[in-house]
């Protein structure tokens, strides 16, 4: 139903726009600056150095290493990711300002009133036609991208013996995801004053759809997606166009998890997490935030430091530049002339010390689910 309403709104918007000066549209599109876009990083070297640190191995997310591999194996992936990024920036540039921090760059335009009641006149009677879902007109309580999006999760468990990953552990992970993406983390009051007001509710609800289990004596599965194929002893993905697939298995080398960015091969789309870091298991990285972090990548978010020095960015306007990840539970940390947003879920700090996404990160992620967005097939 939401897709039908979204399509109707989009058609009405197009018809309205056609009466405007076409040069304005061309001008708006020409403002999309892609000069800073990049895909390849030094992650292969950086993550290896973390895992082989002389004193003690450091937390490692292998998402960017995985991306480098996929780019080499799939020649068309870079162009596909470029197109997704262009669409994302176009969406943010045209987003109506909300007056809240992180509302997106550019300023945008006022939403047109759509003739939703079919009386031939777009007027006040059309303002809030769909109180139970997304609404499209100025003055409505919900913006087209602010309704609650439900993402069903398929959990694929590869374990030594059946039941090694308990149902309670699974349920705790789903609960943690809903807390984090609903901006209800209990540690949030600790946010530095510098970042007050930047924390965002993603309006995303995760539900457990099904749990698949297989047993295996394989010591570890590595990071080349073997766990995602039954032909290699793993579990095939369940329709990645409508389900978020999470694989829980021993990755090896102390790697907590990795994800696939939008645009990668459909058969491997999803997130991989080590059993010790899935749900509530205890320890510094045992409170479910690895899944929050990796799903952030699945939602097109980069690491908070952009996987480079001060000259690169994570493509989010309300996250400060940084030159590298943070660890442990740091206090105020200054890099690149600004205070690091160490408590952001896309950094590397301990689970108890990360507790926020920003409005800019929300805008990036929600653009995937708009008409024409890469994950629009998730919209009911």
Give whole-number Cα distances, 337 to 9, 330, 346, in Å. 44, 17, 20
Identify the residue with better confidence: 152 or 111: 152
Using one digit for the tens of pLDDT, what is the confidence trace for 281-295? 999 999 999 999 999
Contact 344, 319 (CB under 8 A): yes
pLDDT at 99 over 80: no
Average predicted confidence (pLDDT) for the chain: 83
Identify the active-site residue in 47, 85, 250, 294.
294
> HEC profile for 84-137?
HHHHHHHHHHCCCCCCCCCCCCCCCCCCCCCCCCCCCCCCHHHCCCCCCCCCCC
Confidence of residue 189 (pLDDT cuts 50, 70, 90): confident
Confidence of residue 96 (pLDDT cuts 50, 70, 90): low
Q: Among 21-25, 208-212, 317-321, which stretch is predicted with the lowest mean pLDDT?
A: 21-25
Neighbouring-strand partners of residue 335: 338
User: Residue 22 has which token pair?
Assistant: 């076409």
Contact 63, 290 (CB under 8 A): no
pLDDT at 285: 96
Region 150-166: mean pLDDT is 96
pLDDT at 365: 97
Alpha-carbon Rg of the chain, whole angstroms? 21
Confidence of residue 271 (pLDDT cuts 50, 70, 90): very high
Region 215-229: mean pLDDT is 97
Region 73-102: mean pLDDT is 82
Contact 178, 205 (CB under 8 A): yes
pLDDT at 147: 81
* Catalytic annotation present for 294: yes
Region 300-327: mean pLDDT is 94
Using one digit for the tens of pLDDT, what is the confidence trace for 334-367? 999 999 999 999 999 999 999 999 999 999 999 9
Region 103-110: mean pLDDT is 32
pLDDT at 105 over 70: no
pLDDT at 244: 98
């Amino acid at each position: 139903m939401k897709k039908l309403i979204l399509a109707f709104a989009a058609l009405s918007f197009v018809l309205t726009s056609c009466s405007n000066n076409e040069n304005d549209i061309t001008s708006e599109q020409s403002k999309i600056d892609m000069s800073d876009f990049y895909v390849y990083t030094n992650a292969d070297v950086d993550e290896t150095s973390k895992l082989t640190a002389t004193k003690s191995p450091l937390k490692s997310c292998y998402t960017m290493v995985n991306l480098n591999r996929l780019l080499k194996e799939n020649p068309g992936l870079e162009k596909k990711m470029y197109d997704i990024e262009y669409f994302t920036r176009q969406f943010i540039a045209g987003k109506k300002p909300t007056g809240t921090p992180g509302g997106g760059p550019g300023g945008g335009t006022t939403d047109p009133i759509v003739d939703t009641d079919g009386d031939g006149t777009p007027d006040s009677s059309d303002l809030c036609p769909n109180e139970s879902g997304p609404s499209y007109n100025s003055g409505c309580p919900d913006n087209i991208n602010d309704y609650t999006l439900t993402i069903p999760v398929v959990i694929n468990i590869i374990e030594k013996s059946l039941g090694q990953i308990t149902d309670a552990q699974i349920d705790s992970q789903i609960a943690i995801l809903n807390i984090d993406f609903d901006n209800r983390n209990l540690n949030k009051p600790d946010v530095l004053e510098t970042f007050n007001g930047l924390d965002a509710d993603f309006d995303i609800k995760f539900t457990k759809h099904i749990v698949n289990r297989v047993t295996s004596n394989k010591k570890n599965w590595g990071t080349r997606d073997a766990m995602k194929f039954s032909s290699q002893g793993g579990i095939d993905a369940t329709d990645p166009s409508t389900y978020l697939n999470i694989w829980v298995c021993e990755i090896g080398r102390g790697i907590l998890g990795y994800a696939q960015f939008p645009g990668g091969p459909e058969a491997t789309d999803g997130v991989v997490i080590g059993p010790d870091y899935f749900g509530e298991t205890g320890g510094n990285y045992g409170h479910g935030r690895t899944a929050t972090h990796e799903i952030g990548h699945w939602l097109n978010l980069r690491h908070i430091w952009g996987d480079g020095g001060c000259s690169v960015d994570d493509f989010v306007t309300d996250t400060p530049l940084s030159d590298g990840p943070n660890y442990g539970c740091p206090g105020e940390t200054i890099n690149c002339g600004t205070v690091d947003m160490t408590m952001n879920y896309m950094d590397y700090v301990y689970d108890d010390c990360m507790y926020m996404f920003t409005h800019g990160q929300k805008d990036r992620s929600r653009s995937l689910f708009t008409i024409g967005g890469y994950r629009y097939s998730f919209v009911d």
